[in-house]
A = this chain, B = another copy of it.
């Protein structure tokens, strides 16, 4: 497979280097977690309960972190729903189910990835880690502004001005190794690394039993990714499965 963010493995010698990995509990970050762990990093997984509708993902994150044997997993609570402005945190804005829309989806959460990376940066600095991983990918950055490569590069520049590293030396690296992968490639990578996708959720509108709707943007992308791999999605769906 390709390593889209080329060279990040090469920073590892024989010794364990700490990395902070943003873990939502969805398909992408579950894959990312294993990818980073399999590259020899000592993994610190960070999840954020920001009032998202799909909170079932947070329980998935706990199970995924445990299965992956991370050094530590923190779930921070942060009430971004207080700000409003997104279908993902507001019951007043419905999740769209009419196929993939153009433009910025209403499920975009204002400044979400900026907030998530900031928190990852804070933990990394306290840990002495220099590597941050986020599971953004190409399919998303067509719609979400904070999934674009220019955003990731800009955050890395900021990180090196914002911290002790910027004053005392050392350098933060923000990695997005899924950036150029299709959903099918991400799934293929994860299967090779032993990710149990039955433990992941991606739907923006899960029911009380944690079953996906099968028709929101996130479900469509996910189901298509498994179909391209000739597989049935092991996660539960209200209609009866992928």
Contact = CB atoms under 8 A, between A and B. Distances in A.
Nearest to A120: B111
Interface of A: 74, 76-80, 82-86, 103-104, 108-115, 118-119, 121-127, 145-146, 148, 150-151, 154-155, 157-159, 161-164, 166-168
Given A77-B79, A145-B167, A121 B126 contact: no
A187 to B, nearest CB: 28
A202 to B, nearest CB: 22
B110 A163 contact: yes
A114 B157 CA distance: 12
B154 A161 contact: yes
A79 B119 CA distance: 10
Contacts of A82: 74, 76
Contacts of A166: 145, 151
A145 B168 CA distance: 10
Given A76-B82, A154-B157, A154-B158, A167 B115 contact: no
Nearest to A144: B167
Contacts of A78: 76-78
Nearest to A80: B122
The 5 closest A-B pairs by CB, nearest first: A85-B126, A111-B122, A110-B125, A111-B121, A83-B126
A35 to B, nearest CB: 24
Given A103-B168, A113-B162, 4 more contacts: A78-B78, A83-B126, A110-B125, A157-B157
Contacts of A168: 103-104
A72 B26 CA distance: 34
Contacts of A86: 126
A168 B151 CA distance: 15
B164 A145 contact: yes
Nearest to A148: B161
A146 B162 contact: yes
Contacts of A158: 114, 151, 154-155, 157-158
A78 B127 CA distance: 18
B145 A151 contact: no
Given A114-B162, A151-B161, A151-B162, A125 B85 contact: yes
A115 B126 CA distance: 14
